Amino acid sequence: MNGNDSSRQAPEVEASVDYAAAPAGSPIVIDLQDVVKVYDLGGSQVQALKGVTFKVRAGEFVAIMGHSGSGKSTMLNLIGCLDRPTSGRYLLDNIDVSRMSRGALADIRNRKIGFIFQNFNLLQRTSVWENVELPMLYAEIDKHERAARVRHALEVVKIPHKAKMHPNQLSGGEQQRVAIARSLVNKPAIILADEPTGNLDSSTSGEIMEFLQTLNREQRITLVMVTHETDIAAYAERVTVFKDGLILREYRNESS
């Protein structure tokens, strides 16, 4: 897969990547080195990532952009330890996780990573409170601590009064707040968001982005977000653009 593959001829693109754009002095938490991801569909193979090197420093807010099918979600899933690279290395907090077992990856997701999805992915017929509590059940956190953290997380996302409701009784924006609360309760170092505003109208999108930005700035949570809307990407400090499974270019947003 590596090396002399003719489809990987974009050296000038990779050279333009500016890792130094990250906050000076912060350690690198996400370190993907020459990562390839191939999906095997019973005979035909899809090369979703063709050798990507990508680093994120602690406390950064990075947006990933690109056309549909360019490999953004694949990338985010690898970062989130939901999947393992076909080849290449992935160091998370300086630990190589690219060959870890499914169980070990689950523990890493549980303790270090919070996920936010486009379609919220809340458990249906399960109350808001229970949804937010869920990651802590797998972390074996005791009851009183769980209750305190759920209460706090719901206050942070400003929906403490919806605790008893079920997801289908909430608006899209409220559901995404619940998802954010759920991603926060295990105090993750990294939050990964795949098109978090994709199902929301523009004003609700703005509110959700304000939240995420505040989390990043005040709690120094590293944030990697996939989006294909430029104005959403504008909330990030750095933007990485994908094309056909490779990084096309990277740039910093001056305003942030």
Ligand X SMILES: Nc1ncnc2c1ncn2[C@@H]1O[C@H](COP(=O)(O)OP(=O)(O)OP(=O)(O)O)[C@@H](O)[C@H]1O
Stretch of 2-10, 129-137, 222-230, 241-249 lying at the interface with other proteins (CB under 8 A):
129-137
Contact map string, positions 194 to 233, toward ligand X, x by CB under 6 A: ----------------------------------x-----
For other proteins, the binding residue among 54, 61, 90, 115 (CB under 8 A) is 115
DSSP one-letter string for 26-86: PPEEEEEEEEEEEEEETTEEEEEEEEEEEEEETT-EEEEEE-TTSSHHHHHHHHTTSS--S
Of the pair 20, 41, the CB lying nearest ligand X is at 41
Count of all residues that appear for the chain in the document:
256
73 binds Mg ion (CB under 5 A): yes
DSSP SS3 for 95: strand
80 binds other proteins (CB under 8 A): yes
Of the pair 39, 138, the CB lying nearest Mg ion is at 39
Quick one: what does residue 107 bind among Mg ion, ligand X, other proteins, none, with the CB cut-off 5 to 8 Å set by partner type?
Answer: other proteins
Smallest distance, other proteins to C-beta of residue 160, A: 21
> What is the C-alpha separation between 194 and 117, in angstroms, rounded?
5
- Asked if 55 and 32 touch (Cβ cutoff 8 Å), the reply is yes
